[in-house]
Amino acid sequence: MYFYELHEGDEEVFSDVLLATENEMDAEEFFELVQSIRRSVQDTYEDDTLIEAIAAELERDHDFVYVSDERVTAAVNVSVVEEENVLISIDQVDEAAADRDADFRSIVAEFDPEGDPNVN
């Protein structure tokens, strides 16, 4: 099994998707395939993000598996603190995914604790 990743965003806010396939592909070949798909879907996709649209196309037409939240079978929180090691229910994973379907993905705010508290 070979794994490939797509990233979208900048230094402050980004998202990524993971893809898997049984066929190894040269990195340059994968890049060219992604670029070709990006050009064909970038103005018409209905997914939440461009990388999700590309991943869906790679799965549909190119034998990749898009490892999305819907495919998660089990989730475990792992910590050095024993009490924090827990199995997370799939319902909680589904709720977290539903929360991400809100009208926003991220909010970036600059905070200056020494600044004027009355500035709007």
What are the sequence ranges of the domains in the chain? 2-70
C-alpha of 7 from chain center: 8
pLDDT given for residue 109 in this prediction? 61
pTM above 0.85, yes or no: no
pLDDT digits (tens, 9 = 90+) for 43-92: 999 988 999 999 999 999 999 999 988 888 888 999 999 999 999 887 76
Architecture of the domain whose range is 2-70 = 2-Layer Sandwich (3.30)
What tokens does 46 get? 């209905």
Contact 20, 63 (CB under 8 A): no
